Chain A
Amino acid sequence: MSFELSQIGLVHANGQRALRAITLSVTGGERIAIIGPSGAGKTSLLRILATSIRPSEGRVSVLQSNPWQLSGHELKRLRARIGVVHQFPPIPPRQRAITAVLAGRLGQWPWWKSALSLIYPADIAGPREQLARLDLADRLFERCDRLSGGQLQRIGVARVLYQRPDLLLADEPVSAMDPALADLTVNQLHSEAATRGVTLVASLHAVDVALRWFPRVIGLRAGEIVFDLPAVKVSDGVLRDLYASETGILPTQDNQPLTVLPAEEAAVNGLKVVVPPRVI
């Protein structure tokens, strides 16, 4: 069991309710996309799984332990096993890419190794390998303030790949990338999860990316789970319901209209989404 949530509710300090009665159980190695309109509670849900906020109601179990019953030391070790890709990469602008990637292992390294690594990088091959997977190997010694938003986002992904966590969480990991790079990045997150048999949970604003890559899709709206379906069963109607309050257009990575094939047809040709040819 990767994690288990039962009847989770979250009310922010200002009294706003972010999540209501979320029950979810996920076994090791699953790959799940969370979609839903902005403000639906996607980030809050991921933050609860990341043990960075404590839910107001309900029970959480992450990697076989209840984080909020652990001692400080045990909680620290649990957190070192959870990798989080943030939507806005929390990387100091003046830091070099290599240092930002190496920081993924701070929870695993003894303090003296982390300290020595500030003087001379403790590992150069490792970060370079992870950056190469994301087509950024040439930026290894570049300062992060020289990178574009999409490049910085991939540095954040590389850090988590380098961390080699037992649970991979990603909050809008490709929001600043073009469709090709988004595909490359999601592909790498998937192959990491698949080869190491760990669970991947990603929140995504782009419905096409979610349907194309993730076997299981969870729809979240106003802090509640609206549907929890295998990707092949997600129908056009279900999606239009989910985004009913927005503009009526399904959000996609490339802003092109999206056609969702009915389940039978998708099963036949193995495709779930059809993107019409670009009109220039």
Chain B
Amino acid sequence: MMSALPSALPPTAPLRDPAALSRAGWTLAALLVLWPLLHIAQFRPGDLFDARNLKVMGNFVGQFFPPNTSPEFLGFAFKATLETLAMATAGIALAMLLAVPLGLALSHSLSISRIGPGPGRGLGEVIRAATRFVLLVLRGIPEIVWALLLVRAFGLGPAAGVLAVAVTYGGMLGKVYSEILESGDTRPARALLESGSGRLMAFFYGLLPGSAQELASYTVYRWECAVRASVIMGFVGAGGLGQLMDQSMKMLNGGEVSSILIIFLLLVLLADAISVAIRRLLA
């Protein structure tokens, strides 16, 4: 029903897929770009199986065994795990505070001025461009740089690490939120905007029901990343598993490092379970 006038169509459709040639062209172009990139990155998979290299790597991995399971160390590790979880959760909560308004502002599917297009289109585009730039700066600068900057204001400790995660992940979440909101079915929100609803309510009544699962699982995935990012927080003296790992690495204590790595794996498993539970809850 999108008003395709019969007169505007070609008289007969060809018996060959007209998209085939351009598809083949783009595939070839992608390969041509990829090949020199692999050279620049000095990608030589053969090195991995060189006998000498295998021995060196084997020695390195060998130091990790057996994992340190002494009650004293596990006690430290448990305390550090709690700290890490607290920091990651605080960091993600702050990141969401930053990301939700920015993501909503950036999303085209919630633009009223695009309908028609109507008044305020220019201003809308300026605001979206500014939002896009803010998100780009927030996530474009690595969290370690934010941490080194913030540590000068807050001193060594968790505050700088938490804020570094909040800023970087706020940028990532905001960008992905706006993309999720644009990739789903945007007609419900548009229909609401077309009947005079405001942007925020068009989001709650039109977009959120369809994208809640997606938004939640991406947020939980970022929380998982924030747990790993605690290694960086350790670097600025924020405590947690990162700092513990830093000390163990410096003392060349492979057993302790492997115990910490096992804890990381368990935390990722936990994040996965939370994600599945939330998706099931929202389904």
**A interface residues with partner B (beta carbon < 8 Å):** 10, 12, 16-19, 38-44, 50-54, 67-68, 70-72, 75-84, 86-88, 90-95, 99, 103-104, 106-108, 111, 114-115, 118, 163, 165, 171-172, 222-223, 245
Chain B residues closer than 8 Å to A43, beta-carbon distance: 1-3
Known: A17-B8, A43-B3, A44-B3. A92 touches B197 (CB 8 A): no
- The residues in B between 140 and 194 inclusive whose CB is less than 8 angstroms from any CB of A are 185, 187-188, 190-194
Distance of A76 Cα from B198 Cα, bound (Å): 8
B201 near A: Cβ within 8 Å? yes
Please tell me if the beta carbons of A52 and B209 are within 8 angstroms of each other in the complex.
no
Please tell me if the beta carbons of B3 and A18 are within 8 angstroms of each other in the complex.
yes
Distance of A113 Cα from B147 Cα, bound (Å): 42
Nearest CB in chain A: distance from B108 CB, A: 15
Known: A39-B3, A70-B119, A76-B112. A90 touches B195 (CB 8 A): no
Chain A residues closer than 8 Å to B212, beta-carbon distance: 94
Nearest CB in chain B: distance from A203 CB, A: 9
Distance of A128 Cα from B121 Cα, bound (Å): 39
Please tell me if the beta carbons of B205 and A104 are within 8 angstroms of each other in the complex.
no
The 10 closest A-B pairs by CB, nearest first: A107-B196, A80-B196, A92-B209, A106-B197, A18-B3, A90-B191, A79-B196, A90-B187, A94-B209, A54-B116
Please tell me if the beta carbons of A107 and B195 are within 8 angstroms of each other in the complex.
yes
Distance of A67 Cα from B206 Cα, bound (Å): 24
Chain B residues closer than 8 Å to A44, beta-carbon distance: 3
Q: How many residues of B contact A (CB 8 A)?
A: 39
Chain A residues closer than 8 Å to B3, beta-carbon distance: 10, 12, 16, 18-19, 39-41, 43-44, 223
Please tell me if the beta carbons of B116 and A92 are within 8 angstroms of each other in the complex.
no
Chain A residues closer than 8 Å to B1, beta-carbon distance: 38-39, 42-43, 87, 171-172
B63 near A: Cβ within 8 Å? no
Chain B residues closer than 8 Å to A16, beta-carbon distance: 3-5, 8
Further contacts, 7 of them, CB under 8 A, given A54-B116, A103-B192: A38-B1, A52-B115, A52-B194, A90-B187, A94-B210, A103-B197, A103-B206
Please tell me if the beta carbons of B5 and A99 are within 8 angstroms of each other in the complex.
no
Chain B residues closer than 8 Å to A165, beta-carbon distance: 195
Distance of A38 Cα from B6 Cα, bound (Å): 10
